Amino acid sequence: MARMPRMSRVSATCASQWIGRFTLASLLAGACAMALAACGGSSNNSTTTPTVTVGPQTQLFEGQLNVGGSAFYSFTVQATGDADVMLASVTTSNVPGTSSTVALGLAVGTPLGTDCTITKALVATAALQSPLVANLTPGIYCVRVYDVGALATRVNFAVRIVHT
């Protein structure tokens, strides 16, 4: 059997110091790992629900309105807030693009079958402002446009709805 060479005193001291440093580094690394693992836990069992912020949504409702007729459009409100409804434009259907100053009924309500049950209404002409403002809670609503007896011929209309 082969004999292992004897280590000099200097070699033994260097090896001892290296092993000591290695052992100390291993112990420190282990302690840090255990401390970090302990930080992840909590005795507080409550959960935090994230807050969802819903910004305003804009929808455009366009169509044609016959003499004595009405049309409605349904939309969904995600959060409590104001819905601004604007009769953005009314044009004649026989000469497209020709603006009309005719007054139409404009209403907000809830859908019921093939119609809209009105909760708030007014008579409006086309303008770049929201004459109809309704405070709504989350749910499904509708906007209704209707002839108030002022139409002599069919018209095209556009309604802008801004809501949360």
Residue 88 belongs to domain with CATH number: 2.60.120.380
What is the per-residue pLDDT for 15?
44
* pLDDT at position 41 over 60: no
- Decide if 6 is inside a domain: no
Domain count, the chain: 1
Distance, in Å, from the CA atom of 36 to the CA atom of 68, rounded to the nearest integer, reads 74
Domain annotation covers residue 47:
no
Give me Rg for the CA atoms of the chain.
37
Contacting residues for 143 by C-beta, under 8 A, at least 6 apart: 61, 72, 73, 75, 85, 106, 107, 108, 116, 159, 161
- List Cα–Cα distances, 132 to 47, 70, 119, in angstroms: 41, 17, 12
In a domain, residue 12? The reply is no
Model confidence band, residue 97 (pLDDT cutoffs 50, 70, 90): confident
- Whether the predicted model's global pTM rises above the 0.85 cut: no
Residue at 110 is within a domain: yes
Q: Is residue 14 pLDDT above 50, yes or no?
A: no
Q: Is 34 helix (H, G, I), strand (E, B) or coil?
A: helix
Question: Residue 109's domain spans which residues?
Answer: 57-163
